[in-house]
A = this chain, B = another copy of it.
Amino acid sequence: MNEIFAALGKIKASKPLVHHITNWVTIYDCANVTRCIGALPVMAHAKEEAKDMTSISQALVLNIGTLTPSLVGSMLLSARRANEKRIPVVLDAVGAGATRFRTEKAKEILTSVRIDIIKGNAGEIATLAGAKAEVKGVESGAFAGERKQIAKALARKYRATVVMTGKYDVVSDGRRTYVVANGHMMMGSIVGTGCMAASVIGAFAAVEKDYAKAAAYALVCFGIAGEIAAKKIRGPGSFKERFYDELYNLDEKTIARMQRIRVEK
């Protein structure tokens, strides 16, 4: 059986609960894509219940898109519980580098708790790695320099898996580096694809303990759904609807035929 499809099958069979503490912009889409991929989403940010919700979950996804000091507090409570339970913690460093507050809080989270998977675009990851980068809001394009080297260095620094999204997604755990070439330009035409990718990574990490593999497999599925959806649409509105449909319907043949993933050791 195709290994990526097998992981997807595990999600659908075990329906892991993926706890999110996330931003107010794409919170619905994060929940919905989690359901689409076969897992169960739960969003709970109050400090009074964050830890308890993590206790019954199989993965934790943190997203700093509309961060406040109070949310940071709940993130730390939940992440500590996740660390105790040894369930995967994903940090989507949305907009790191755009403001001092966001950069500092992202670093504070990284140094206070164990983050298993650090995700961002080139600018965000470079900011966390201390590399020179120009970040424009929560968006950032390619920048000069060695993308893979930066991802690898950050992975080693925090002994984590680093996901750097872009035209080619780079996933590195410091030893192995996956390059995923699936995806489509239209995915950038709607808000929230990055956040949604983190949710799908969380679902895969709940069932696949090799987190580099989990993240890369998630990005393959996510990207293939985007490629198929992009074929028959008129614009971002119809793309988004179709994207959910295609992600929900992914089958083994399609994954095996379309997957564009390679690993460097």
Contacts and interface: CB of A to CB of B under 8 A. Distances in A.
A136 interface: yes
A245 to B, nearest CB: 3
Interface string A234-259: 11111011111111110000000000
Contact of A56 (B32, B136, B246): B136
Interface stretch (A3-11, A99-107, A124-132, A167-175): A99-107
Contact of A68 (B40, B46, B136, B245): B46
A118 to B, nearest CB: 20
Contact of A48 (B25, B69, B234, B237): B69
B42 A138 contact: yes
Interface stretch (A84-92, A151-159, A177-185, A188-196): A188-196
Interface string A40-68: 11111110110011001100000001111
A249 B234 contact: yes
Contacts of A17: 136-137, 139
A67 B46 contact: yes
This protein's copies in its complex: 3
Nearest to A53: B99
A245 B241 contact: no
A187 B6 CA distance: 26
B69 A35 contact: no
**Chain A interface category by residue count:** 35 or more
A241 to B, nearest CB: 4
A41 B191 contact: yes
Nearest to A45: B66
Given A43-B65, A136-B40, A28 B26 contact: yes
Given A137-B40, A242-B237, A189 B35 contact: yes
Given A25-B28, A36-B189, A237-B241, 7 more contacts: A31-B191, A44-B95, A45-B66, A52-B99, A56-B136, A235-B245, A240-B244
10 shortest interchain CB distances as A-B pairs? A237-B244, A235-B245, A49-B101, A237-B241, A52-B99, A42-B137, A49-B99, A235-B248, A48-B101, A234-B245
27 contacts: A17-B136, A23-B43, A26-B28, A35-B189, A35-B190, A36-B235, A36-B236, A40-B136, A40-B137, A42-B95, A42-B138, A45-B66, A49-B99, A49-B101, A53-B99, A56-B98, A56-B137, A57-B137, A189-B248, A234-B249, A235-B248, A235-B249, A236-B245, A236-B248, A237-B242, A237-B244, A238-B241
